[in-house]
Amino acid sequence: DVKINTSRKTLTVFFSDIKSFTTITEKLEPEILTDLITNYLTEMTNIAIKYGGTVDKYIGDAIMIFFGDPNTKGKKEDAISCIAMALEMRSRLKFLRKAWKSAGLSESLDVRMGIHTDVCTVGNFGSQDRLDYTVLGNGVNLASRLESSANANEILISENTYNVIKSYFKCNFFKEINIKGRSHSIKTYKVEEKISKEERMQTIQINRDGFSISIDKDRVKDVSEIVTLLENSIEKLTD
């Protein structure tokens, strides 16, 4: 039995849409447009399912996906899976562009993606006659805003998500954006690529307000010297 039932959970929410899609639709016959968008959504959905994402809905060319419900591997693993999914989606676009071009479309298939990790309300919402399994909350709105703020073929993530996945993916600071209903601006980051296991083993990077440390294990010749420096720093900090 499907009933109105919701809960609060930490989720990673993903939004994507095709840039200038309205312009594209005006240049294609309905049958061709239907085939192209169906192929695109199918390819993206298959990738989402591969990484364990829950496809919430399609809004025209836009896709909403979330990680963390009904199944979760934990906050970090859910966020990592979402970023890995987005990177594979971006890579897959290279092949889909060929199909769009062969259909006579001069515009490139460019997609914007936004990702945010936050506590959201998830479950069955709706009327007594019709229910929709979906997610609500400020976290959803922020993920949508990140997507609209991204440039073509960029994966834009919030600071919340960045803090969770920064040891696993190379990211660059993008800018701070203002969100309606929030008193402070949100730092955003662009996802570049996955950090290999070997790279993670070689480098230690920690960043906090007023504190930063970076250690390249390959270049450290005397570990005891580094340990001494760290111990001296701790003593000064606690004096």
pLDDT tens-digit series, residues 131-169? 889 999 999 999 999 999 999 999 999 999 999 999 899
In the chain, what percentage of residues exceed pLDDT 70? 96
* Cβ contacts of 7 within 8 Å, gap of 6 or more: 121, 122, 123
| Cα 97 to Cα 109: distance, rounded to the nearest angstrom | 6
Q: Collapse the DSSP code of 5 into the 3-class scheme (helix H, G, I; strand E, B; otherwise coil) and give the result.
A: coil
Write the burial class of residue 118 (CB in 10 Å: 0-12 exposed, 13-18 middle, 19+ buried): buried
pLDDT tens-digit series, residues 89-122? 999 998 998 888 887 777 788 999 999 999 999 9
What's the confidence (pLDDT) of residue 210?
78
Q: Are strands 169-177 and 54-59 parallel, antiparallel or unpaired?
A: unpaired
Q: pLDDT tier at 1 (50, 70, 90 boundaries)? A: low
Is cis: bond before 70, omega within 30 of 0? yes
